[in-house]
Amino acid sequence: MSYFDGFVIAVPTANKQKFTDHAALADPMFKELGAIRVVECWGDDVPDGKVTDFRKAVQAKEDETVVFSWIEWPDKATRDAGMKRMMDAMNTDDRMNPEKNPMPFDGKRMIFGGFAPVVDI
């Protein structure tokens, strides 16, 4: 059964092209490591909530846009092996080297997790 990694980040709105360039360089590596699909979504209709919302979750500032991303894997075992190889590649592959392909956002405010689907229609 498929397995998903989900991410929510706050990206400075002025860095949209830098974010897109960063993702275009790094994301193909996930596919090389077994991912079925990688999707990066730029916030377009992200309402403020009364108690919590996407913006509050990542402490987005007025000049930032919320990005919602996910990676679909064929199964959790492929994901676990792929993510381990991805972390190992941070020292050997320029696409994952933060000095060569720096994240155009504050990674400390990124929220992420792995998810097993319970309904798939």
The answer on pLDDT for 43 being more than 90 is: yes
Residue-level pLDDT at 88: 84
Q: What is the pLDDT of residue 99?
A: 78
Q: What's the confidence (pLDDT) of residue 97?
A: 74
Condensed to tens digits (0 to 9), the pLDDT of residues 53-105 reads 999 999 999 999 999 999 999 999 999 999 999 888 777 877 777 777 778 89
Predicted confidence at residue 76, as pLDDT, reads 98
Please name which of 56, 64, 71, 76 lies closest in space to residue 15, comparing C-alpha atoms: 64
100: how many CB neighbours lie within 10 A of its CB?
A: 10
| C-alpha to C-alpha distance for 47 and 18, rounded to whole angstroms | 24
* Domain segments of the chain as ranges: 3-115
Tokens of 115: 């998810």
Q: What is the CATH number of domain 3-115?
A: 3.30.70.100
